[in-house]
Amino acid sequence: MAAASARVDLDGKPIKPMTICMIGAGGFIGSHLCEKVLTETPHKILALDVYNDKIKHLLEGENASLAERIQFHRINIKHDSRLEGLIKMSDLVINLAAICTPADYNTRPLDTIYSNFIDALPVVKYCSENSKRLIHFSTCEVYGKTIGSFLPKDSPLREDPAYYILKEDESPCIFGSIEKQRWSYACAKQLIERLIYAEGAENGLEFTIVRPFNWIGPRMDFIPGIDGPSEGVPRVLACFSNALLRREPLKLVDGGQSQRTFIYIKDAIEAVMLMIENPARANGHIFNVGNPNNEVTVRQLAEMMSEIYAKVSGDQALQSPTVDISSKEFYGEGYDDSDKRIPDMTIINRQLGWNPKTSLWDLLESTLTYQHRTYAEAIKKVIAKPTAS
Ligand SMILES: NC(=O)c1ccc[n+]([C@@H]2O[C@H](COP(=O)([O-])OP(=O)(O)OC[C@H]3O[C@@H](n4cnc5c(N)ncnc54)[C@H](O)[C@@H]3O)[C@@H](O)[C@H]2O)c1
Ligand SMILES: O=C(O)[C@H]1O[C@H](OP(=O)(O)OP(=O)(O)OC[C@H]2O[C@@H](n3ccc(=O)[nH]c3=O)[C@H](O)[C@@H]2O)[C@H](O)[C@@H](O)[C@@H]1O
């Protein structure tokens, strides 16, 4: 009889230890997933990435029992013959590798399309040929714009959830015209989803597709000039954190009217763990993973972050905490935006019984505490440095 403490899945069946090939393990989501897998399960990780700074604390053996279950392979999946061998050694493949910062979609559309579609192809192929289960990270951006956004501004139908809630098995994918190169990312992600789905239908590939809705938290992206390029433009959490740390106004693109639902990375990782350990319930499904209760406009996000940062840093908020900027000036030609993103949670609830827990205020408070602790001193030094005359 199994020990009372044996790990069991949602159907009460014991979970066997597995080897997970995690591609893109050195990124934001990968670093949190590695931490969770190592600290709470007996599974092993083959961690593939070109960088490992965000998982160094796991690799360097501060805790030897964790470090012995993770093996880092510095691999660029664009061109490395070791990829198939590592996939063959695994029970499960998780693919997180991608270019996924909006500033790149319209300025580096070729790299974006190659990264999100072409470079993912061999991963799908090796999984299919070697009968390996695949969890692939897509994006909520595959929904593009809401149907409601095409209605007249004063239409009462805009208030009807049927016109804006995003459902995995019903909502269409609505992108802008080809010259709006913003959609290069969403379109590449959509095509790789379709290919994975077809591999499942025609060749029996066991797959799960994850559509994250703005997961945020510690270790997301970089702070320009500190642990990333000075001219780099990360996603909104890091852009706003950078401005707060430097005591500069937060830039609101096109007035900050777009709406997003933000979810705490730690809540989202719980959902991924359920997918990993419940293949019978997760295979063949596409899952929205987001927090429908945490909706704000980008302007509201900026105001909330300014208030919370003042609290955690002890510094007074700026008199004018935000400034408007056009999308053309901020991102360049070809930018476009998703108007509103609220995930429908029916499928993930039914299959995995998962729900997000953390409020926007709480997740911003813990994330901004981390940002302040990690970066405030470094920023002070950079600002104090005399510039060459
Ligand atoms: N964070 C979110 O809220 C979010 C939302 C929607 C979708 N996603 C998707 O989730 C995945 C992970 O996102 P993230 O936020 O952790 O991004 P990230 O940029 O922090 O992580 C991606 C990692 O993949 C690695 N990588 C990229 N190309 C590679 C290559 N050719 N070979 C090896 N490694 C490579 C990068 O070095 C990086 O460490 C992406 O596919 C992204 O599109 C994330
Ligand atoms: O996170 C997600 O779910 C997906 O959405 C993101 O796209 P987006 O939400 O548009 O990217 P952010 O950089 O986080 O921007 C959010 C909003 O803030 C705005 N913004 C961004 C930065 C800034 O300084 N100011 C500002 O107003 C943007 O224009 C946008 O409307 C990225 O495409 C991916 O990481 C991911 O696939």
Domains of the chain: 98-376 (3.40.50.720)
Phi (first) and psi of residue 195, to 5 degrees: -65, -45
pLDDT of residue 388: 62
pLDDT of residue 385: 82
Ligand 2 pocket: which of 104, 183, 254, 298 to mutate (most atoms within 8 A of CB): 298
pLDDT of residue 65: 82
**Ligand 2, atom nearest to 335 Cα:** 29
Query: Whose CA is closest to 211, among 198, 201, 196?
Result: 196
DSSP state of 54: G
Give the three-class secondary structure for 285. strand
Ligand 2 pocket: which of 236, 245, 252, 329 to mutate (most atoms within 8 A of CB): 236
Q: What is the pTM of this model?
A: 0.97
Residue 41 Cβ inside 6 Å of ligand 2? The answer reads no
Contact 274, 33 (CB under 8 A): no
Establish whether 309 is a catalytic residue: no
Residue 140 Cβ inside 6 Å of ligand 2? The answer reads yes
Indicate which ligand has the atom closest to the C-alpha of 297. 2
Residue 102 Cβ inside 6 Å of ligand 2? The answer reads yes
Q: What is the dihedral of CA 213, 57, 243, 139, to 10 degrees?
A: -20
pLDDT of residue 62: 74
Residues of the chain with pLDDT under 70: 1-5, 387-389
CA 145 – CA 131 distance, rounded (Å): 36
Query: Residue 283 burial by CB count (10 A; 0-12/13-18/19+): exposed, middle or buried?
Result: middle
Question: Measured in whole angstroms, how far is the alpha carbon of residue 148 from the centre of its chain?
Answer: 25
pLDDT of residue 389: 52
Residue 260 Cβ inside 6 Å of ligand 2? The answer reads yes
- Residue of minimum CA distance from atom 32 in ligand 1: 76
Residues 6+ positions from 6 with CB-CB distance below 8 Å: 14
Strand (E) positions, 273-363? 285-289, 295-297, 322-325, 342-343
- Residue of minimum CA distance from atom 29 in ligand 1: 97
**Ligand 2, atom nearest to 290 Cα:** 3
Range 244-273 burial, b when 16+ CB lie within 10 A, else e:
bbbeebbbbbbebebbbbbbbbbbbbbbbb
ipTM greater than 0.95? yes
The secondary structure element, H or E, covering residue 133 is strand 133-137
pLDDT of residue 5: 63
- Residue 349 CA to ligand 2 center (angstroms) comes to 26
CA 30 – CA 157 distance, rounded (Å): 39
Residue 141 Cβ inside 6 Å of ligand 2? The answer reads yes
Residues touching ligand 1 (Cβ under 6 Å) are: 24, 26-30, 49-51, 75-78, 96-98, 100, 115, 119, 137, 139, 212, 214-215
